[in-house]
Amino acid sequence: MASRWPCRCKVWLPRGESKTVRLDLDARAFAFYDTRAGGWRARDGASTSWRVEGGEYELVASASSEDVRSRAVVSVSSEGAAAPHEGAVAANPPYVEATDEVLGQMGLQVQPERSVRPFDRRTTVGEMGDEAGCCGKCLYSMLICGMPKATNPIEHRLRLEMTRTLPLEILFNFANGGHLREPSTREPPPPPEGC
* DSSP result, 138-171: HHHHHHHHHSPPPSSHHHHHHHHHHHHT-BHHHH
Residue 165 maps to a domain: yes
Q: Compute and round to an integer the Cα radius of gyration of the chain.
A: 32
How many residues in the chain?
195
Residue 111 maps to a domain: no
| Region 3-20 average pLDDT | 71
pLDDT exceeds cutoff 80 at 71: yes
Cβ-based neighbour number of residue 171 at 10 Å: 19
The confidence score (pLDDT) of residue 96 equals 63
pLDDT exceeds cutoff 70 at 144: yes
Cβ atoms of 100 and 111 closer than 8 Å = no
pLDDT exceeds cutoff 60 at 40: no
Domain count along the chain? 2
With CA atoms as reference, report the closest residue to 163 among 133, 128, 135, 131.
128
Residue 59 maps to a domain: yes
The confidence score (pLDDT) of residue 177 equals 56
Residue 109 maps to a domain: no
The confidence score (pLDDT) of residue 92 equals 52
| Residue 89 neighbours by CB under 8 Å, 6+ apart | none
Cα separations (Å) of 184 from 124, 129, 179?
25, 30, 11
| Region 13-20 average pLDDT | 86
- Domain encompassing residue 134: 125-179
The confidence score (pLDDT) of residue 2 equals 42
Per-residue confidence band for 113, with pLDDT thresholds at 50, 70 and 90: confident
Residue 187 maps to a domain: no
The confidence score (pLDDT) of residue 117 equals 72
3-class secondary structure, 120: coil
Residue 193 maps to a domain: no
Q: Phi then psi for 145, rounded to 5 degrees?
A: -70, -30
Residue 137 maps to a domain: yes
pLDDT exceeds cutoff 80 at 142: yes
Residue 160 maps to a domain: yes
3-class secondary structure, 13: coil
Q: What is the largest CA-CA distance in the chain?
A: 103
State the Cα–Cα distance between residues 28 and 51, nearest whole angstrom: 8
